[in-house]
Amino acid sequence: MGTVDIIPDIHGQIAKLRGALDALGWRRGPAGWIHPDPERTIVFLGDFIDRGPENRAVIHLVRDLIDSGKARAIMGNHELNALQFHTAHPATGQPLRTHSEKNLRQHASFLAEFPVGAGETREALAWMRSLPLFLEAEGFRAVHACWVDPAIDRVRALSGNGVLSEEQLIRAADPADELFHLAEEITKGPEHRLPDGFAFR
């Protein structure tokens, strides 16, 4: 297996992504993306969107690398949040992720380029839904936040390849469902409540 470049958390920052690719030796040629090492590949760890203002450009560039056969990608918590933000529960018609002030603020830069319900938004979300929660290849494993064997094994048993179906996406938004906790652990990592009066800074 050749060298694998691991690129996490781009968050809508196209200049930083292009700078990283340039520093790593990647170039866009007439026939697609190339590298002096023909065996070299890229794995993106998700969180392509939100925060930075260039979500569309980041998604297009990442997808271009994948379509060139030079990269693979997995889902981060921001893609999972976006899918749930833009998906209505079939029973209630309400979004799986509430459109609260906090969630709207977190998702604002994506919404500025991809309004709710727009055709381009639906297409971008369909691509996000195709991303697995984890990747296991010869010589390495990849997740967005935390590889926990029991959680990975359970998601693999439920989904086969780590890609959530629409039904599983709905379940992953329900705190009473095991898939909620599995997806949280894989895409956000384990969380522990600190004693009263203590905080990380």
Q: Please check whether residue 105 lies inside any domain of the structure.
A: yes
Quick: pLDDT tens for 26-44. Answer: 999 888 899 999 999 999 9
Q: Please check whether residue 171 lies inside any domain of the structure.
A: yes
Between CA 61 and CA 5, with CA 140 as vertex, the angle to 5 degrees is 35
Sign of CA dihedral 31, 32, 36, 37: negative
Q: Please check whether residue 136 lies inside any domain of the structure.
A: yes
- Residue 201's pLDDT is what? 61
Q: Please check whether residue 194 lies inside any domain of the structure.
A: no
The count of other CB atoms within 10 Å of the CB of residue 12 is: 24
- Residue 191's pLDDT is what? 76
Computed on alpha carbons and rounded to an integer, the radius of gyration of the chain in Å comes to: 18
Non-local (6+) Cβ contacts of 88 within 8 A are 94, 95, 96
Q: Please check whether residue 106 lies inside any domain of the structure.
A: yes
Structure tokens at 189: 């990592």
CATH number for the domain spanning 126: value is: 3.60.21.10
Residues 168, 178 contacting (CB under 8 angstroms)? no
Quick: pLDDT tens for 121-151. Answer: 999 999 999 999 999 998 899 999 999 999 9
Residues 140, 134 contacting (CB under 8 angstroms)? no
Going residue by residue through the chain (201 aa), what tens digit of pLDDT does each one get?
689 999 999 999 999 999 999 999 999 988 889 999 999 999 999 999 999 999 999 999 999 999 999 999 999 999 999 999 999 999 999 999 999 999 999 999 999 999 999 999 999 999 999 999 999 998 899 999 999 999 999 999 999 999 999 999 999 999 999 999 999 999 999 877 878 877 766
- Residue 14's pLDDT is what? 98
Q: pTM of the prediction?
A: 0.93
Q: Please check whether residue 193 lies inside any domain of the structure.
A: no
Number of domains in the chain: 1
Distances (CA, A) of 63 to 79, 90, 104, 127: 14, 30, 25, 9
State the Cα torsion 69-127-63-106 to the nearest 10°. -140
Q: Please check whether residue 94 lies inside any domain of the structure.
A: yes
Between CA 121 and CA 159, with CA 187 as vertex, the angle to 5 degrees is 80
Q: Which domain holds residue 136?
A: 4-188
Q: Please check whether residue 104 lies inside any domain of the structure.
A: yes
- Quote the DSSP letter at residue 192: -
